[in-house]
Structure 1
Amino acid sequence: MTYNHLTISELSFIQNFWNQGIKAYKAAKALKYSAETIYRVYRFLDAGNSITEYYETYKANKAKAGRKPIILPDDELEYVKEKVALGWTPDTIIGRNERSISCSMRTLYRIFKRSKDLDVTSLPMKGKRHPNGYVERRGKAGRLGRAITERYKDYPNYNDEFSHLEADTIQGKKHKGAVMTLVERSTKATIILNTHHKTDKAIFEKLDALLSATPKHLFKSITFDNGKEFSKRRDIANKHDINTYFADVGAPNQRALNEHTNGLLRKDGLGKDMDLSDLSTDYVQQVASHRNNIPRKSLGYKTPLEVFMQYITDEHLSLF
C-alpha cells in the first residue's frame, strides 16, 4: 500500500483554509485527502502551533519510521567473514545452511553494501556485469572446426548428461603466460592446465597429458572458443576419440559457464595483473581446488567436487 504525504505547499493551503474558518471536511474534498488527515492538522493549529512546527514534527516522526537495519550477532558475522574468505557468496552461505543466519539471503547482500565489516568488492564480479543485451564485439579469425549445432545432433541429451567440457585460456598481464581452463558442464568442476604459454603446442601437450591420464571416454566432448591456440584439436580428437566443437564467432554466451568460471578464477588468484608464464603447478592446482570446493546454488549447494565424484565409478578409479 502506498500513501500520499502532505507537502509543505499543501500544508500552507490547509493553513489558509483554517485561517478562513472553512470546515475541515470541505478542505479535505478540495485537496482530495481524507477528512481525518485535515482534522489532524486543524487540531494542531487549534493548539496554537504553526504549520512549520507541524512539518518539522512530521519529518522527525518519519525518520523514526520503518524497519530498523538488521545487525548480525558477532558470532554470525565472524562465520560470514570466514566463508567469504573461502570464496563463498551470501547466496551460498544461506543456501548451504551449515549454520543458522538471522537474516535472508537478500538482506545479507544488503548488509554487505552498508557494513564496514564486510567488503562488497570481495564478492564475485564486485557487482559489475555487462548490461542486458550486451554483444561481444571482439574480432575472431573465424570458426576453426565443427559448429555447436552439430554437437546437439551428436548428443541429443547434451544439456543433461555428464562428461562434456568447455575450454578456454586465461592470459597474464601484457600477454605474459597463460593457463588453460576446462569446465565440466553438469558438475561445474574446473580443471586448470598450467600451459605457461598460449601456443597450440603448449595447449596440445598439456591437454594430451590430461586425457592420457584419465579413463578413456570419461569425457565425450570439448567445446572451444576460436582462439588459434586450439588449432591442434584434430590431433586431440583423433588420439583420444573425443569430439571437438567450436562456438560461433563472437558468441561467448555459447560457452557461458566457462566464461563465468574464468571470471571467478581471476578473483581466486589468476588476476589480470599477474605474469602467468612462471606459475608453479602446485599454485595452479590450489586455485582449481579452491574453486571446486565452493558450494554452488545450481548444484543444490553441493560443491562441484562432491557432484563430480558422484559420477566416478569404481571402474573409473581402477583405471587411474
Structure 2
Amino acid sequence: MKQVTVKNKHLSLEVLEYGAIIRKLKFRNSENSWTEVSVNLESPEDYLSDPLAIGACVGRFAGRLSGGVLKLNGKAYPLTHTEGITLHGGDRGFSRRYWTLQSATESPEKSEVILKYRSDHLEEGFPGTLDVTVIYTLLKNTLVIRHEATTDRPTVVNLTNHTYFKIDSQPLIAHYQLQINALKRAETDSRRLPTGQLPEVSGTAFDFLKERRLGEFTMDTPFLLQSNGDFAARLTSAVSGIRLTVRTNQPGLVVYTPENFAGICFETQNLPDAPRFDHFPDARLNPGETYINESQFIFDSVR
C-alpha cells in the first residue's frame, strides 16, 4: 500500500493511496511541538477493515440515499444498498478503493498531494463514468481539501473527507468548545434519513450558533450552513490551546461524533438524500460541468 508524507513549517500530512486516506495530520503548536490532530489507526493495513471510513474520501454520494434507487432524468438506477439505504456510495464507495497517487510535492510555501480515481458507469449503480481528483494542499497552517469531478453522463455527486479530528491527547472530547455557523439542520428519522424538514436550531440541543461545550451530546447531524458565513465550524481545546476553523464552499456540514470515540468528523458536503427533495441543494452533475468541493481546515494556537 503506497503512502506519502508532505509537510511545511506548521503541518505534516501522511496520505494513503487506499481510500485517498488522510492517515496522519500533525500541527506544530505555539510551543513548537507537534500534536497529532487526527485520529489514526496503528498500521496502514488496519484501514482495509475499518468500518468508520477514518480519514477517507467518501463518495460517490456521501451520507445516505434512500430507497435503493436513484431517479434521474426520468430513469431509475438501482443502487447497492442495505435495507433500502445506500450509505457513503454503497458497498465500497470511494473509501474502500485504491486511488492513483499522481504526485506529491513539498516546499515551504505549498506542499501538495494529488490522487485520482475513475468510477465506471454503473459502479454501485450510479450512472456516468466519473473522473475524480482529490488535492490535499498545505498552505501555512491550513489544510485545503479540494475534490473535483467530471462525468460523461448526467449523475449525482456528493464528495467529502471523513477525517476525525482530535486536537488534544485526552481520551474523550466532551470538553471541546464547538461553534457551528448554521441556523437550520436537516431533520432525520430513526434510520438517520432526512425527513425533508429543515427546523431552526435556535433553543434546541443542536444550537451551536454561539460557542459552547460539546459535552456528552453525540451527533450524526446535517446542518444547513449560512451562505454568508465566513466559517462553517470552530473547535477549540483549552487543554492543548489548539483551535480548528472549518471553511467550505459547500451548503451543508454533517457533524459526526460517535459515542465513546475520541474524535469529531466535519463532513463538508451537500445534504444527505438531496436528490429526493427539490428544496435541498441540487446534487446533479452534467457533462461539461466540473464538481468542486473545496474546504479549508485552519489550525492555530489560542494561548
TM-score if structure 2 supplies the norm length?
A: 0.24
- Structure number with the higher helix fraction is 1
- Structure number with the higher strand fraction is 2
TM-score if structure 1 supplies the norm length?
A: 0.23
Higher Rg: 1
